[in-house]
Each structure stands twice: as structure tokens, then as C-alpha cells.
């Protein structure tokens, strides 16, 4: 999440609104710029004036979209409901299943540090590793409120991840309610969890 999205989130907006409101603001900014230039009545050929107005109308949105793209997981639910009888040691929260040395797993810590307070229940990282060094690498990246440990029931967790890391598990009533792979965990998933 970027600074504008985080500000909107801190002001109390939903995950969905904090993601998409900046795009609408960029559209209005572009339209405002286009109208201002159009009213100037530049003494150039009509096609040049029309091209300039069009370019100014779409430029703010285009730049913002290039910098902060909308992903598939932001628009639709891409989660899956794994069949598992695995019970977790806490009632509700999000568990991020990570591998030692996985760069995408390490990158996910930035997002979780930013949003964990908005999520219900506990937020934990479970590392599919063999020693405490695997855990300490993630511990250094995570805020104090996010607990990190070696994964319990590693053999049962591996099929749930479907070999994709990190995998985000939404725990409800001590069981997995839903799971998302890294590319599918967007604002739609966050909105599902927060409700």
C-alpha cells in the first residue's frame, strides 16, 4: 500500500475505498486540468488542442496506475477453501505461511506491518523451516505485534499452500476459512477478512 492508501485507511476508510478512491481523485484531477486548458482557448489547430486536452485528462490516472497498478486480487475474490481438519491454537486471525529465504515472503512483511491492526484477531507468520534462524530472519522484518514461529503441522500445511509462497490463511473458529496465494491476496481479500 502506498502513502495515500495508508492515509485513507488510517482515516477510517475500508480497504476497498482506500485502494480505489485515489484513482477517482486522479480522474477528477485530469478532468480539471483538461477543462482549465480547454478554457484557455489556445490558438493552435483544433486537433492539437483536442490532443492536449485528452492527454491532460488521462495523464494523472495513467501515471498513478503505472506507479500503483490494480491487480486481479484487488477486483475479485481469488481465494480458495482448502479441505483441512487442521486446528489452529487461536480462534481467529491471519497466518502467513512462509519459506526461509523466500523473497516474496519477505516482501509480504511490509504489507502485513502496515495493515495488521485493521485485521481481526492475531496476525502470525509460520515459517516452514527447521531451526530458529529461519524464524529470526522474519522476526527482524516484522513489527512486535506480529508473532513469528516455526510452523506447526508442517506436513499438513504444505498441501494447503499448493506449493505457492507466501500463502495467506484466514483463520476463523480455529480452522482455515479461506486461503490466498501471494498474487491473489489483494484488497478484495482484505475486505473479506475485515468484515
| CA pair distance 132, 118, nearest whole angstrom | 29
How is domain 78-194 classified at the CATH fold level?
Glutaredoxin (3.40.30)
Domain with CATH 3.40.30.10 in the chain: 78-194
pLDDT digits (tens, 9 = 90+) for 69-87: 998 889 998 999 999 889 8
- For residues 61-73, average pLDDT: 93
pLDDT digits (tens, 9 = 90+) for 19-45: 999 999 999 999 998 888 888 877 777
pLDDT digits (tens, 9 = 90+) for 113-161: 999 998 888 999 999 988 889 899 999 999 999 999 999 889 999 999 9
Closest CA to 98 of 136, 51, 43: 136
Q: How confident is the model at residue 11 (pLDDT cuts 50, 70, 90)?
A: very high
Under 8 Å between Cβ of 181 and 114: no
Q: Would you state the pLDDT for residue 194?
A: 87
Quick check: 64 pLDDT over 80? yes
> How many Cα atoms are found within 13 Å in the side-chain-facing hemisphere of 110?
8
Under 8 Å between Cβ of 149 and 119: no
Amino acid at each position: 500500500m502506498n502513502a495515500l492508501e495508508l492515509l485513507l485507511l488510517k482515516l477510517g476508510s475500508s480497504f476497498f475505498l482506500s485502494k480505489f478512491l485515489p484513482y477517482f481523485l486522479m480522474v477528477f484531477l485530469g478532468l480539471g486540468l483538461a477543462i482549465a486548458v480547454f478554457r484557455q482557448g489556445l490558438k493552435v489547430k483544433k486537433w492539437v488542442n483536442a490532443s492536449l486536452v485528452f492527454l491532460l485528462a488521462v495523464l494523472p490516472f495513467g501515471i498513478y496506475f503505472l506507479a500503483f497498478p490494480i491487480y486481479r486480487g484487488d477486483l475479485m475474490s481469488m481465494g480458495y477453501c482448502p479441505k483441512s481438519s487442521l486446528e489452529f491454537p487461536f480462534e481467529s486471525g491471519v497466518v502467513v505461511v512462509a519459506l526461509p529465504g523466500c523473497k516474496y515472503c519477505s516482501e509480504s512483511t511490509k504489507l502485513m506491518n502496515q495493515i495488521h491492526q485493521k485485521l481481526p484477531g492475531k496476525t502470525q507468520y509460520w515459517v516452514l523451516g527447521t531451526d530458529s534462524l529461519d524464524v529470526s530472519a522474519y522476526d527482524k522484518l516484522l513489527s512486535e505485534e506480529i508473532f513469528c514461529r516455526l510452523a506447526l503441522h508442517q506436513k499438513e500445511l504444505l498441501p494447503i499452500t499448493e506449493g505457492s509462497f507466501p500463502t495467506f490463511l484466514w483463520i476463523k473458529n480455529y480452522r482455515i476459512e479461506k486461503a490466498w496465494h501471494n498474487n491473489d491476496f489483494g484488497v478484495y481479500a482484505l475486505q473479506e477478512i475485515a468484515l
